[in-house]
Amino acid sequence: MRKTSEVLRLKKACNLSNRAIARSCQISHTTVGEYLKRAEAAGLSWPLPEELDEGKLERLLYPEVIQESGRTLKPIPDWKEVHGELKKRSVTLTLLWTEYREQYPDGYGHTQFCELYRRWAGKLNPPMRMVHKAGEKLYVDYAGDTIPITNPETGEVTQAQVFVAVMGASSYTYAEAQSSQAMPNWIGGHVRAFAYIGGLPQILVPDNLVQGVKKPCRYEPDLNPTYQEMAEYYALAVIPARVRKPRDKAKVEVGVQVVERWILARLRNRTFFSLAELNRAILKLLEELNHRQMEQLEKSRRELFEELDQPVLRPLPEKPFEYATTKTTRVNIDYHVEFEKHFYSVPYTLIHEEVRIRATEHMLEIFHKSKVQPVAIHPRSRVPGRYSTQPAHMPPKHQKAAEWSGERLTRWAGEIGSQTSQLIQAILASRRHPEQAFRSCLGILRLSNQVSRLQMETACQMALQAKLLNYRGFKEILEHLPPSVNQDVLSSLPTHENIRGETYYQ
């Protein structure tokens, strides 16, 4: 709406100059001159007649078509063509007005040309003014601009993406740089945004990017499972913006523009060597942005946030949501499943069954079919080729085998004789890990069921003397012993110098 009546008041009642009026009304002094010229041509004086409201004054001073002697002096542009041209890249109303005046030198001035177009366009699809309730919606998106990060060792330059979140009522803004728009970063950006604002809204409004929406739909969009899981964890509703409807997320569109102008543009001449360094710089400017007073509202985003959003935000849970990787696999014959080259046990009754793995940074859960509760939970391990096995998952026979230990083998050997005990201790000590010798020791001890105690002790003593600390060597010695061994032969054998004593494993 033009400020014609205010211009007339300041001129006629206050007797101000055109430039002073222009500064007061925040318009150009040439526009002030045009208003006064039209008022004088219409024979208007101050004060204006009571029946002359703003609408009538507008039509009196700015008729759409000025006619004289039955002919049109100022041709009306084809507004449909103007509207279509404006959709093209870099085309503005000023450019179209310039082309219009080149064709019609006596046509409308710039101000009235723009006003007439806005009137026409306003009748096409009048936008609904969005009313943002306090603490209700958080709008999220990625900025179009990126920030280069230079590898200090190789000089390679990568582009960091900028995640932006904006509260609906207060425009309180959060921004951070990320290495990419991958799912872990997308989820992590939300978690850190919640922590920054110190609470939870009721609704998330993302764009239709694949990290949030698996299948866009105007009425029932299909959310990405991980995004849905995060929303359920925080008890949030997710209402994606409609496809190609930027007005649905105008708040974050403006927020992205503000971040690009007041943060990214200010960092354009700096060189960053890591994401951490970049995010420290962004955080500093972000605080300045949220504390800067907004011209129209005369309050900062932080003040509005504390006044509107903060009192009604829901509290954060004790632990933040952890991004989880999921994988569907089948249980192997050894009742283990593989995830990132490490093997985790499940109950042996699930052999050959299909299970779903959910792995966070610290924990791994395994689910069977549609069960809500996991059938197995393990601490996350990143050691390749190793096994994480819980005894409760083993078959009964395997559980008994798992009970073997160095102490148990040594006790069994001691029941046979001192030489047998010393041999078993020597074999256990010869391996880097005692578990590696369990099979050899078990095989030797089971041979005691086939020979006499004297033969067993004699063979053990000879194995110690020959340093044959393995099952095959011991069995060969035992096979070459005479059927009957004299006790004197056993007592005459020297004690092996490497024997550590029976208390070594106690």
CA 82/CA 88 separation, integer angstroms: 10
Alpha helices (runs of H) in 129-234, residue ranges in sequence order? 183-197, 225-233
**In one letter, which amino acid is 102?**
E
Are 442 and 462 within one domain? yes
Contact residues for 471 (Cβ-Cβ < 8 A; gap 6+):
439, 440, 443, 444
In b/e form, how buried is each residue of 462-478, taking b as 16+ CB within 10 angstroms?
bbbeeebbebebbbebb
**In one letter, which amino acid is 345?**
S
Domain boundary among 290, 312, 334: 312
Do the beta carbons of residue 355 and residue 345 sit within 8 Å? Answer: no
Q: Give the SS3 label for residue 269.
A: coil
Q: What is the CATH number of the domain that holds 244?
A: 3.30.420.10
Are 380 and 281 within one domain? no
Q: What is the reported pTM?
A: 0.50
Look at the chain and report how many structural domains it folds into: 4
Are 27 and 87 within one domain? yes
Residues 337-347: pLDDT tens digits?
999 889 999 99
Are 300 and 430 within one domain? no
DSSP one-letter string for 396-408: HHHHHHHT--HHH
Q: Give the SS3 label for residue 427.
A: helix
What was the pLDDT predicted at 291?
92
- Tally helices (H) and strands (E) across the chain: 19, 19
Whether 497 is covered by a domain: the verdict is no
What was the pLDDT predicted at 403?
61
CA 343/CA 290 separation, integer angstroms: 49
Q: Which helix (H) or strand (E) holds 112?
A: helix 110-122
Q: Give the SS3 label for residue 211.
A: coil
**Integer CA distances (angstroms), 75 to 71, 83, 104, 107, 130, in order:** 10, 17, 8, 6, 37
Do the beta carbons of residue 213 and residue 248 sit within 8 Å? Answer: no
Are 70 and 179 within one domain? no
Q: What is the mean pLDDT of each run of 10 residues along the chain (506 residues)?
A: 74 81 79 82 78 73 54 71 70 86 85 84 55 79 89 90 88 91 88 93 77 45 70 84 52 78 88 92 92 80 88 91 87 88 91 90 87 88 86 75 74 91 90 74 89 90 90 89 60 49 48
Whether 503 is covered by a domain: the verdict is no
Are 393 and 409 within one domain? no
- Determine the structural domain holding residue 382 and report its residue range: 325-397
In b/e form, how buried is each residue of 21-36, taking b as 16+ CB within 10 angstroms?
bbeebebeeebbebbb
Residues 456-505: pLDDT tens digits?
999 999 999 988 899 988 999 888 887 665 555 444 445 554 545 444 44
Domain boundary among 63, 88, 122: 122
